[in-house]
Homo-oligomer: A and B are copies of this chain.
Amino acid sequence: MVLKQDKAEGQQPPARPAGVPAKRATIRDVAREAGVGIGTVSRVLSGRAPVAPATRARVEAAMRKLGYHPSRAAQALSRRRTNTIAVVVPLFTRYFYVEVLRGIEEALDETGYALVIHSVERAADRDRAFGDLVESQRADGALIVSLAPDLSLIESLRALHLPAVLIDSSHPALPSVVVDHERAAAEATHHLLRLGHRRVALIDRKDDPFSAEAASARIPGYRRALAEAAIPWRAEYEVIIDFTPEGGQTALRSLLALPEPPTAVFVGSDTQALGVLEAAREAGLRVPGDLAIVGYNDIEVARYVGLTTMRVPMREMGRRGGELLLRALDLGEVEAVHLRFDAELIVRRTCGGSLFRMPTGIDAIG
């Protein structure tokens, strides 16, 4: 049995039971040291209660002397809030999500909120993450990125008064910030059309089985643009394929094998567009001479391969989402605002627009 010997500087036992942290000074120690009651210490801690300057000084000195810091766990238990925000995000290795997270970070910076991140890779992860959200009240609020919450989650959130905001996903009951994929797709297609193309294909990805619907929003946009330009729609020009460069590569190959191959293609993700570029290269096609390409998202790579693309304001979406949540946390009640952003066309070298440069001078570039 270990006796607490506060005064004696006895040898610490070299080994400790797992995870048992060292004893820290508590509010009581500070109170004793300063010769005041713990209530007073608490007051100087929170700062929002009247304390006599002299008393305050004594307490602060005591805190400094003891190296005191309040226990978050105890505060959380007592205040019934953790000062933590949970974010649930699909494989955050993707540039898109990293940018969103950066934006969230920006919003939360200096607010004292910590961020706990749940990275979701499989549907099971998602369920676990969602479950965790409601079960363990680790967080005061949640940010859900590109994931569609199911009704039971929404119900639980509301029942628990746990504010949540959706980013790149939406639901009438929750605040959300999204980008208008339909419109963006239409704009990308329009751009190609404006450049004189009449055979414009679409390559896009399947929606993740457990994510929000981005692809399914782009397709109508593409079709609408076609219709507005009175270009007949062709089923064989719409290729839905894996969300990988290889997917894009395969897609373009099959498109090129058509009797009437397209002269331009709108690709629903830059990731796939990279593969499209590769396929164009292997086919000996000049880009944009023989084939114009417009990607989607404007991931980091896009700039280096000269890919024209629709820039999705990922960072800003994250930031606004974070702000919305902060707001809800302040108000104590969520207002279901829905922010909608537009993507922006970034013209580079793969579409043959105004700014025209050879795709690359480096023979290494795909």
Q: How far is the CA of A130 from the CA of B188 in the complex (A)?
A: 46
The smallest beta-carbon distance between A140 and chain B, in angstroms, is: 6
Q: A69-B136, A301-B301 are in contact. Are A21 and B80 (CB under 8 A)?
A: yes
Range for the number of chain A residues in contact with chain B: 35 or more
The residue among A18, A118, A280 with the most chain B CB atoms within 10 A of its own CB is A18
Residues on B with C-beta less than 8 A from A331 are: 18
Interface residue? A205 (CB, 8 A): no
Residues 312-350 of A, flagged 1 when their CB comes within 8 A of B and 0 if not, give 000000000000000001111100000000000000111
**11 contacting pairs across A/B (C-beta < 8 A):** A18-B329, A19-B80, A20-B161, A22-B159, A71-B136, A93-B99, A282-B361, A286-B363, A301-B301, A304-B365, A350-B362
A109-117, A164-172, A173-181, A216-224 - interface stretch: A109-117
CB pair B102 A98 closer than 8 Å:
no
Residues of A bordering B, CB below 8 Å: 14-22, 24, 69-74, 76-77, 80-82, 84, 92-93, 98-99, 101-102, 105, 114-119, 134-138, 140, 159-162, 245, 274, 277, 280-282, 284, 286-288, 300-301, 304-307, 329-333, 348-350, 360-366
Q: Which residue of B lies closest to A77 (CB)?
A: B73
CB pair A162 B21 closer than 8 Å:
yes
Residues on B with C-beta less than 8 A from A362 are: 277, 280-281, 287, 305-306, 350
Residues on B with C-beta less than 8 A from A92 are: 98, 101-102
Number of copies: 2
CB pair B73 A17 closer than 8 Å:
no
CB pair B307 A69 closer than 8 Å:
no
Residues on B with C-beta less than 8 A from A366 are: 304-306
The smallest beta-carbon distance between A137 and chain B, in angstroms, is: 6
The prevalent SS among residues of A at the interface is loop
Residues on B with C-beta less than 8 A from A364 are: 277, 287-288, 305-307, 348-350
CB pair A72 B137 closer than 8 Å:
yes
Q: Which residue of B lies closest to A156 (CB)?
A: B67
Supplied contacts A72-B137, A73-B76, A114-B118, 16 more A-B pairs, CB within 8 Å: A15-B332, A15-B333, A18-B330, A19-B332, A20-B80, A21-B81, A72-B138, A76-B77, A92-B98, A105-B119, A280-B361, A286-B363, A304-B304, A304-B365, A306-B364, A306-B366
Residues on B with C-beta less than 8 A from A363 are: 286-287, 349
Q: How far is the CA of A159 from the CA of B306 in the complex (A)?
A: 53
Residues on B with C-beta less than 8 A from A304 are: 245, 274, 301, 304-305, 365-366
CB pair B24 A137 closer than 8 Å:
yes
CB pair A135 B69 closer than 8 Å:
yes
The smallest beta-carbon distance between A4 and chain B, in angstroms, is: 15
Residues on B with C-beta less than 8 A from A84 are: 116
8 closest Cβ pairs, A-B complex:
A306-B364, A18-B332, A281-B361, A349-B364, A73-B76, A69-B135, A72-B136, A73-B77
Q: How far is the CA of A44 from the CA of B304 in the complex (A)?
A: 57
Q: How far is the CA of A15 from the CA of B102 in the complex (A)?
A: 32
CB pair A137 B98 closer than 8 Å:
no
CB pair A137 B21 closer than 8 Å:
yes
The smallest beta-carbon distance between A329 and chain B, in angstroms, is: 6
The smallest beta-carbon distance between A62 and chain B, in angstroms, is: 16
Residues on B with C-beta less than 8 A from A81 are: 19-21
